[in-house]
Every structure is written in C-alpha cells, then in structure tokens.
Amino acid sequence: EEPSAGITDDTVKIGISGPLTGPVAALGAIADGVRTRTDPINVAGGVRMADGKTRKIELLVEDDGLDPQRTLTNVRKLVEREEVLAVVATAGTPNNQAIGRYINQRGIPNLFMYSGVHELAGPEWEIGFVPSFTTEAATFAKYLLDNKRQAKVALLYLNTETGQTFQAALESAISDSGVTIVAAQPVTSADPTVETQLSTLKASGADTLVVITGPRQGAEAVRFATESGWKPTTLISNIAASIASLKPAGLENAKGVITSQFLKQVNASMPGDDVGVKRYLADHAAAQSKFSTEDALGQSGYAIGDALVKVLESMKAPTREAMMEAARNLDHAQLDLLLPGITLTTKTGEDVYPIESLQLFQFDGAAYQPMGDVISFEGKTPRH
C-alpha cells in the first residue's frame, strides 16, 4: 500500500493544536503530556509498528488559544504544510467541531480529542478519549441511587457543552427515582466568583451538591459548602477534583468530597510501587516536562500519548486508514496511568468510546481513597 503523507520508514509526524497561551493556557499541559510520553520512546529508538518498521514520533505543536478558528487554521497548516499523518489531543468541543468537516473531507485522523462530548462533525475520522460526561453523570447517579436514595441534588454546572451534557445525562439517569434535582445553577468561566450561585443552591434546601465546573469554581464550591455551614454530600467532576486544585480551598474543607476518576493517583513524593506510575514519573523526568507531575491535564496528555503509541503499534499499514482502523478497534488496551480495570476498548461502527469506566473516590483530607470497584459502562455509554 502507498504510505500516507506524514509517515516514512523511520518517522511518523503527528500534529497537536492546543491552547498554549491565553486564559486557558492550563490546557497546554495536555500537549506537553503527550510529548512526555513520546520523547522517551524516541530516545529509545521509536515505536515498533505492526508493519514491522520502527519509527520515531515527530510531534508538532501549534497554539490556538482555544479559538476554534485558529484550531482550523492550525490543523490546515499541520496537514498541508507540515504534512502530519494525524492530529491528536485537540482540546475543546467547538474546536473539534470546527475542524470536523475539514478532517472528514481530507481523511485525517483526529485521535483522542480532549473533549467529553463525542458525537461531533467528523464521525468517520475522529475518536475521543476521556469518558463522556454522560458516563460521569451515570456514575454519580449510580452512587446516589445506591447510597442516598432520597437525595435532593443541587447542581452547579459549567454553562458549556460540558455542563449541559452532564445535566441532561444526570436528569435522565435519575428519572423515576427518589433522587431529585432541586436546583441547578450555571457558571461561566468569566464569572469572577460563584458565591451567588452557591447561596442560591444552598437556599434550595438540597443535601447533595454536584459540581461540574472548572477547577477554580470547583475549589470555591468546596470551600463554600463547608464554610457556610451547609455541608452537603459533595460530588465533584474529575476535571476539577485534583488535589492540587482543591488545595487553595483548604484541604480540610475538601474532606469527604467524592469524585470519579479514570487516572491513577500520582503522588511524586510517595510514588508507591505501581509500575505505570513509576514509568510516568521517569518519563516526566526524562522529558523535562514543565507541568507538575500531579497535574491531571498533563497526566491525561500522557495517557493520550500512551494511547497513541498503542494505536501506532497496532497499525498494519503506514496509512491514515490503517491508523483509524487501529484506533477504532482497540481491545482492552492498558495504559500506564489508567486505573486498574479501566482499559481502552472500541469497535468500528459500534463503540466509539475508548474509556467507559470510572471509579469513585472519596477524599480523606490527604488523599483520595477508592470507594468500591470500577463502575463500567462498556458498550452502554448513554448518548446525549
């Protein structure tokens, strides 16, 4: 077969467009995370792919400041000038939508988008990574149905596709049960504080607070819930739940907070003896990455890089089609940073969700402790 652009006998070019600058530059850690995985592999010689050749991964990163329009120009630049084989880890739902038509027309794989919404404009050529927000909603619902059947839920959600998808999914997951959503308040990333919303939620008489927001508002919510004497059961989305981001709210305030995770906990000072975490820490040191080892976004990036390597390894031909084929047929692929029991599984035409399991954790004031087993929605992720 004729090899596609971007792949030669010894290299494969991969592009990333992400926000390296601007107000959401935190997401730039994802690109860095991918690099953290690929750099050591290149040093070790490259990836051995299923066609028998070993290739180095050349990563090209472009900055889009999370502006969908710039994502499109970046991707075009990457594809047409740099001739990359595929783009990975594109952050933001609108951004992925903006490039949807282009990648579909051109047949460019858009792998492992960093977006919790998976049904986008380029269905043939894209695949997500992190669990859908519907999965997370289902996990939270399951927790409530199992442990707090009469819960009165107050929901603080980000007023973007993230929060809206989640809200819809949560509502349908708890329909016909004793759990009710008694109040919901949107927040936008431009809100200076969210106390107004929280006061309103508190006044609704809810006993459970579900928070689907960015880290800043998440931390604020956690602090408010305790300081105001409200003390509801707090469930907080994994995008806001990292210990580092809860720290400014006061870790003692965060005690008892429940979250769902798919990544392992990394504690650089106490690495433990998990092989995957150790490798991650070693790679992080080797690649001299800028983000902190505990940065969840960097870890996600690392996991995406890992997934990319898995896809490359199983590519039978040096073509984009083969790449997509490989990405669409992952079979219980294990990644270093995924929690034990969580794997990547996809199937062409049937299953477009790589990760469909989450595990609940509760914060004990110092670390997250697992609650029960991994909850799997393999093959039954609710669509929205």
Partner 1 sequence: MNGTRLFQSAPAALVTAVALCLPFLAPDFMLFEFSIAVCYGIAILGLNLLLGFSGQICLAQGALFGIGAYATAILNVNFGMDPIATLPFAAIITSLIGVLIGLPALRLQGLQLAIVTFGVASAFPQLLLKMDWITGGVTGLATDQPLAPKWFPGSQELWLYGLSLICAAISVFMLRRLLRGDTGRLMRALRDNPLIAESLGVNLTKARLAAFAASSALAGLGGGLFCILNGFISPQSFLPMKSIDILIGGIVGGITSMAGAFIGAVFIVFVPGWTTDINPALGGLIYGLCLIAMMMVARQGIAGLPIGRSLQALGGIFNKKDLSRVPGPLPGQLGGE
Partner 2 sequence: MVLFFQLLIDGLASGAIYASLALALVLIFRATRIVNFGQGEMATLSAYCAWQLCEWGLPVALSFLIVGAASFLLGVFVFRAVIKPVSKAPVETIVVITLGLFVFFQSLCLWLWRADQRAFPAMFPSGGWDILGVRVTASALCILLVLLCLAATMGAIFRFTRLGLAMRASAYSSEKSLLVGIRVERMLMLGWGFAATIGFIAAVLVGPRLFLSPTMMLPILLYALASATLGGWDSPLGALVGGLIVGVAESLGATFLPFIGADLRVVIPIAVTLVILLVRPVGLFGSSTVVKV
Residues at the site binding partner 2, with contacts judged by CB under 8 A: 21, 23, 25-26, 28-29, 159, 185-193, 195-197, 199-200, 203, 215-216, 219-220, 227-229, 244-245, 247-250, 290-292, 295
Q: List all residues 6 or more positions away from 379 whose beta carbon is below 8 Å from its beta carbon.
A: 350, 351, 356
Shortest distance (Å) from residue 195 CB to partner 2:
5
Distance CA 128, CA 384 (A): 15
Residue 38 or 242: the one with the smaller Cβ distance to partner 2 is: 242
| β-pair type (47-48, 54-63) | antiparallel
In the complex, what is the shortest distance from the CB of residue 194 to partner 2, in angstroms, rounded to a whole number?
A: 8
Among left, alpha and beta (phi > 0; psi -120 to 50; other), residue 353 is beta
- For residues 339 and 262, is the Cβ–Cβ distance under 8 A? yes
Closer residue to partner 2 in complex, CB, 128/214:
214
Distance in Å, CB of 257 to partner 1, minimum? 27
* Residue 301 binding: pick among partner 1, partner 2, none (C-beta 5-8 Å cut-off by kind): none
Report d(CA 130, CA 112) in Å as an integer.
Answer: 8
- To the nearest whole angstrom, how small is the minimum distance from the Cβ of residue 30 to partner 2? 12
Nearest-approach distance from CB 278 to partner 1, in angstroms: 27
Name the binder of 26 from partner 1, partner 2, none, CB < 5-8 A by kind.
Answer: partner 2
Q: CB under 5 to 8 A by kind: which of partner 2, partner 1, none does 187 bind?
A: partner 2
CA distances to 32, 37, 279 from 287, in Å? 9, 8, 12
Residue 168 to residues 33, 35, 52, 136, Cα–Cα distance (Å): 31, 35, 46, 12
Please report, as ranges, the residues that interact with partner 1 according to CB under 8 A: 20-22, 25, 28, 61-63, 65-70, 72-74, 76-77, 79-81, 92-95, 97-98, 100-101, 121, 159-161, 164, 188, 190, 290
Structure tokens at 124: 């043939």
Instruction: Quote the least distance from Cβ 25 to partner 1, whole Å.
Output: 7
Q: Closer CB to partner 2, residue 85 or residue 158?
A: 158
Q: How far apart, in whole angstroms, are the C-alpha atoms of residue 178 and residue 70?
A: 46
19, 28 Cβ separation under 8 angstroms: yes
